Amino acid sequence: MTAAAEPTTRATDPSAPRTVRAACPQDCPDTCAMVVTVDDAGRAVEVRGDPEHPYTAGGLCVKVNNYLDRVYDPGRVLFPLRRTGPKGSGRFERITWDDALDEIATRFRGIVDEHGGEAIMPVSYLGTQGILNGLNVGDPFFAKLGATISERTYCDSGSCTAYAMTIGDTAGVDPESLVHSKFILIWACNVMSTNLHLWPYIAEARKRGAKVVVVDPVRTRTAAAADQHIPLRPGTDAALALAMAHVIISEGLTDQAYVDAHTVGFPEFAERVAQYTPEWAAAETGVPADTIRTLAREYAGGQPSVIRIGVAVERHAGGGQTVRALACLPALVGAWRKPGGGILQLPLWAFPVNWGAFMRPDMLTPGTRIVNQFLLGEALTGGLALDPPIKGLMVYNSNPVVVCPDQDKLIEGLQREDLFTVVSEQFMTDTADYADIVLPATTQLEQDDIMFSWGHLYVTYNHRAIEPLGEAVPNTEMFRRLAARMGFDDPVFRRSDDDMIAEAFDWSHPHMQGITVESLKDKGWQRLTVPPPDEYAPHAEGNFPTASGRTELAASAAAGGNFVVPLFRQGSNEFQPGQPVDPLPHYIPPREAAHTDPERAARYPLNLLTPKSHAYINSSFASHAFHRRVQKEPNVIMHPDDAAARGISDQDPVRVFNDRGEFTVLAKLDDAVMPGVVVSSLGGWRKHSKATATLAAVNSTQFADLGNAPTFSDTLVEVEIA
Ligand SMILES: Nc1nc2c(c(=O)[nH]1)N[C@H]1C(S)=C(S)[C@@H](COP(=O)(O)OP(=O)(O)OC[C@H]3O[C@@H](n4cnc5c(=O)[nH]c(N)nc54)[C@H](O)[C@@H]3O)O[C@H]1N2
Ligand SMILES: Nc1nc2c(c(=O)[nH]1)N[C@H]1C(S)=C(S)[C@@H](COP(=O)(O)OP(=O)(O)OC[C@H]3O[C@@H](n4cnc5c(=O)[nH]c(N)nc54)[C@H](O)[C@@H]3O)O[C@H]1N2
Ligand code: SF4
Ligand SMILES: [Mo]
């Protein structure tokens, strides 16, 4: 067990400057342990990374280094506000909490009485990922209200369905054991921007002789730092993965003893992949057949080998089957036998979070309708023919105007005069501009919380470091106040933050031995009670948490159909089985591509990718001057040949458009992107944009094949001089 030594919690002299242990709340795999210094006036004066924490190792990142500037930003929403101008105008007046709660309760009650609870829809995601204030904080309230269930499949939902079907809800490889890997395959993940603290482990492995390969249509800073970059056409990843399986099997590179003992469906799988030759995959992906052969041989031969998949791998029509194919590979080559071998997706599954105590699916009215948040624009404008229509909206922990596809329709919906919208925020985002009532939310320094991680195996405690600014409240307190005003008196609404912390984990779980609320409060963070990274090989002997206990090359769970992992659906732990899924991994080409939709491709020949910005977390931080300076003006990166064909020069303002919408940014010419691919990174706000819209205006609301995942990378556009 690893734990931090001195100092931090409170110093004995209450008036002396003190240091407080905290945790970065952002939706980022790294969940850094922070140390906050607070002066004797109760003002936070420094936030830094905890040097004792093995993973954080004293460093935060460009997003959060200046966290105090966010906390004390003059633009913070510090008091409840009521709209005074037209929707979207951003004109508001300060009101009291009492007035705000009265108005919300009166309006919500009126809507429920007239139209039923389903006429209210919550919209939320991961502005903070603390167990208390994050994903599930509003679930019991909206379940009690009988509101529409909000499906939140923004991030890794398709990947999780596919992963669970194949190897179960296992933590997979411990990121810290990557130092032992001999071959590291980074697939659709820009580690140096999005998972920064993993890089030192990769660098160490390299020092010890590992080869690092990146599969990405773009030569990102991560790809540039690797030994090899393999660019491929967006959304064709499964073709590459299946061709790797083809080479591994046809050339006898399998670890047959491991396959025989710890997989099911090998004969059918082998028969299936026989058709996916490297030559076929080369035509599909643009990767030369010889490169595919070499990749497969080196991957199989470089044991232990590891695949680090990014969230971006799911964002196209066949994203789910892509993850199915990738999750099969480690078993074929026996990668799981040693520490540092296997696949790394979300080690989150190792944390025994007591989700039920926060989601409270038992409080839902059976049969309550479910609406996916990607469809919010359509839901608000009548496109889904909802009965009852959505009359009330409550947004918290999210900025849908920037992160949700179909932006123009969403704006149209938010402008509806008969829609009552409440937004809880730290800042006046593009979404908050459309609120009737805005409620002020605290930042992480002003609230207690407890954190799992989706990038390492440490539990982290976040002590409140300072008093809430103005009248801001944590989300927990906001829902306590709302529930009280609605007259909801169930015990769940009377829980204090301490009560919730006590319920956060199954403390008796084997992974929590020696970890208690008290020890966490004291130490700040502790590693789960799992073997140390040098010995962490959870599937050396199989033991996959699947129905068969094996890697399911042929997935038995596919018979039950497509499903959404409970985490991604507000309040609900019910699977909603769809059509049965082919149990064997297969190739589903991108929906928007020249060979699948030639008519669309003729009009919109360029494939737009919208990955994460280096200096923002999703759309958070995109209003701060420092971050905007680092990120620079929003742009679209194009290959010089594509630009030349359109008469576009570097830094020209350009329109990026398709039949769904358009946005205007600067062109950046760079051969880091493949011809035919253009890249504009997510996060910039609409109100800062050149022409009122951002990239979400061109994204489609269509789901990927599994888990109702988004298809952001499956988007054709054209670009022209603005
Ligand atoms: N700096 C920063 N860090 C972040 C975030 C942030 O906004 N900014 N957000 C956090 C969140 S919520 C998440 S989900 C993670 C996501 O982190 P990542 O998984 O790294 O996601 P992205 O940056 O969106 O995309 C990674 C890479 O995938 C590539 N890509 C896109 N489509 C495809 C494809 O079809 N195939 C292949 N092979 N590659 C493709 C892109 O070119 C990009 O370089 O990052 C987290 N960390
Ligand atoms: N085109 C495109 N779209 C994408 C993606 C993409 O790659 N491309 N990525 C998708 C992914 S992976 C993700 S995870 C989503 C992210 O989508 P969101 O989770 O909506 O992320 P943010 O845009 O950062 O918005 C979070 C908001 O919550 C607020 N907030 C922070 N803490 C608190 C709090 O304690 N209380 C309250 N009430 N509010 C708080 C922040 O100020 C911020 O405005 O976007 C998705 N959308
Ligand atoms: S955003 Fe990620 S890398 Fe940056 S401080 Fe937070 S957890 Fe660490
Ligand atoms: Mo995400």
> Residue 658 in contact with residue 718, Cβ under 8 Å?
yes
Report the alpha-carbon distance of residue 556 to residue 165 in Å, rounded: 8
User: Per-residue pLDDT tens for 665-715?
Assistant: 999 999 999 999 999 999 999 999 988 899 999 999 999 999 999 999 999
Q: In this model, does residue 305 exceed pLDDT 60?
A: yes
User: Is 120 in the same domain as 216?
Assistant: no
Q: Is the pLDDT of residue 252 over 70?
A: yes
Q: Which residues are CB-neighbours of 627 under 8 A, at least 6 positions away?
A: 62, 63, 615, 616, 621
Q: Which pLDDT score, from 0 to 100, does residue 292 have?
A: 99
The answer on 260 and 118 residing in a single domain is no
Q: Is residue 589 part of a domain?
A: no
Q: Nearest ligand, CA of residue 232?
A: 1
Please state the domain count of the chain.
4
Q: In Å, how far are 242, 317, 319, 418, 709 from 324, measured between CA atoms?
A: 10, 14, 9, 44, 14
Any atom of ligand 3 within 6 Å of the Cβ of 22: no
Considering the domain architecture, whether residues 151 and 223 belong to the same structural domain is answered as no
Rounded to the nearest whole angstrom, what is the distance from the C-alpha of residue 121 to the centroid of ligand 2?
17
**Which ligand approaches the C-alpha of residue 191 most closely?**
1
User: Which residue in 542, 422, 523 sits closest to 106, CA to CA?
Assistant: 422
Q: Is the pLDDT of residue 571 over 80?
A: no
Residues 283 and 306 in one domain: yes
Residue 126 in contact with ligand 3 by CB distance below 6 A = no
Chain centroid to CA 416: 29
How far does the centroid of ligand 4 lie from the alpha carbon of residue 92, in Å?
Answer: 31
Band (8; pLDDT cuts 50, 70, 90): very low
Q: Is the domain of 106 the same as that of 172?
A: no
0.95 cut: is pTM over it? yes
Over residues 512-517, mean pLDDT: 98
> For residue 630, is it within any domain?
yes
- In a domain? residue 540: yes
Instruction: Check whether 517 has a pLDDT greater than 50.
Output: yes
One domain, residues 276 and 381: no
Cα-to-centroid distance, 28 and ligand 4 (Å): 7
> pLDDT tens digit string along 396-431?
999 999 999 999 999 999 999 999 999 999 999 999
* pLDDT tens per residue across span 21-53: 999 999 999 999 999 999 999 999 999 999 999
Q: Are residues 603 and 652 in the same domain?
A: yes
**Which pLDDT value is given to residue 1?**
33
367 and 305 within one domain: no
pLDDT over 90 at 5, yes or no: no
Give the model confidence (pLDDT) of 460-481 as tens digits. 999 999 999 999 999 999 999 9
- In terms of domains, do 385 and 406 share one? yes
Q: Do 368 and 419 reside in the same domain of the chain?
A: yes
Tens digits of residue pLDDT in 114-148: 999 999 999 999 999 999 999 999 999 999 999 99
Domain boundary among 477, 502, 523: 523
pLDDT tens for 326-368 read 999 999 999 999 999 999 999 999 999 999 999 999 999 999 9
pLDDT tens digits, 524-548: 999 999 999 999 999 999 999 999 9
- The answer to whether residue 581 is domain-embedded is no
pLDDT per residue as tens digits for the range 64-119 = 999 999 999 999 999 999 999 999 999 999 999 999 999 999 999 999 999 999 99
Same domain as 326, residue 253: yes
For residues 378 and 459, membership in a common domain is answered with: yes
| Domain hosting residue 33, numbered range | 8-71
Distance (Å, whole) CA 529 – CA 99: 48
43: domain CATH number is 3.30.200.210
The beta strand positions in 304-457, using DSSP E, are 305-309, 342-344, 370-372, 392-396, 420-425, 437-440, 449-451
Q: Is the pLDDT of residue 15 over 70?
A: no
Does residue 298 fall inside a structural domain? yes
Assess if residue 91 is contained within a domain: yes
Residues whose beta carbon lies within 6 Å of some atom of ligand 2: 27, 125-128, 133, 154-155, 311, 396-399, 402-403, 424-427, 429, 441, 475, 610-611, 617-620, 682, 695-696, 699, 712
Give the CATH number of the domain where residue 696 resides. 2.40.40.20
